[in-house]
Amino acid sequence: MEALLSVADYARAARRALSQEAFDYYEGGALDEVTLQENTASWTRFKLHYRVLAGVANRDMSTTVLGQPVSMPIVVAPTAFHKLACEAGEIATAQAARAVGALFILSSLSNTAMELVFAQAASPRWFQLYIYKDREITVELVRRAEAAGAEAIVLTVDAPGLGTRERDARNSFRLPDGLVVENLASLGKGNFPEVQGSGLAAYVRANFKEDLGFDDLEWLCRATRLPVVVKGVCRGDDARRAAEQGAKAVVVSNHGGRQLDTAPATCEALPHVVEAVGDLCEVYVDGGIRRGSDVLKAIALGARAVLVGRPVLWGLCVSGEEGASQVLEILRRELDEAMLLCGCSTLSDIGRWLLQP
């Protein structure tokens, strides 16, 4: 059996394990997939100007997110439809996050009801939310998340519509028989419309609020007792305004290169957002994180934590919960190695000095 030593190894193994349609859904990006590719490539362009003779024997990767302790600054990002990867779906992902002490964020578009998933997820556990055209649907999701034990609401703001994903259109992507958007099933929104092309794109057009505005963020912050995290910011001014209107954290994200193609890579946008928000809120980043050294670079640029999506899915595809936890452990091990070789004992030792000669 092939040794699976890296995230890239798991990606190759997942490609062999999945149908073309499912792999393209997980892997694909918008239009020419420029941003998709740049998200990963841009991290490699930052060079690490390491220190020697630093006397580093032990490393501590623990931190907090919104005051909640985690074993490392690597978060399981919200991604949809985990039962395309393995039968246990989101429950396996939640259990993998629990095994490694990572924050787990559940997507609204999960194949498993949030109540079942959160029962298997250790604290901290957050719920990702889209704003629906029917506000009562949004309210119901928030109330269920609160009751199920979610400890924050992650509002995705970069998807008032769906960026054109040509792989999905060519494949006429839709969920296989027996799989639905489980959190929305009882609200009559569990199935894709019957259309040519991407069923997901048609679902988003029919249901997501296109005229999403800062008033919706302000409303959500009033509507829930949970802290609100805004995911999908690219600009510093948007991030600062979100913080001023109640967001406790922002995620620098371009939806994994799946929305606006030729948007900047997240590592390029991150420093501008960090500078703009200052101490108003915490800043996280996702997009293209494939090595522990990428995590270290994100922290050096000012992120408190990173979100990882596709790599966790690849682990699920290969061996379910065990595969997902192994991917997270690979990134943990690589971060520990990068900290050792850069001369950093704790995350607070990591700074912009590492990226400048």
Please count the helices (runs of H) and the strands (runs of E) in the chain: 14, 10
DSSP annotation string for 14-77: HHHHS-HHHHHHHH--STT-HHHHHHHHHHHHS-----SS------B--EEETTEEESSSEEE-
Mapped onto helix, strand or coil, the DSSP state of residue 161 is: coil
The two three-digit tokens of residue 12, written as one number? 């190759």
Catalytic residue among 49, 82, 255, 272: 255
Give the CA distances from residue 291 to residues 72, 271, 331, in Å, rounded to whole numbers and listed in that order.
14, 20, 6
Which position has the token pair 């997901």?
200
Which residue do the tokens 């002490």 mark?
101
Active site residue 49: no
Q: Computed from CA positions of residues 211, 213, 215, 220, in that sequence, does the dihedral angle turn out positive or negative? A: positive
In whole angstroms, give the CA distance from residue 280 to residue 287: 23
Q: Are 56 and 340 in contact (CB under 8 A)?
A: yes
Kindly list the catalytic residues. 255
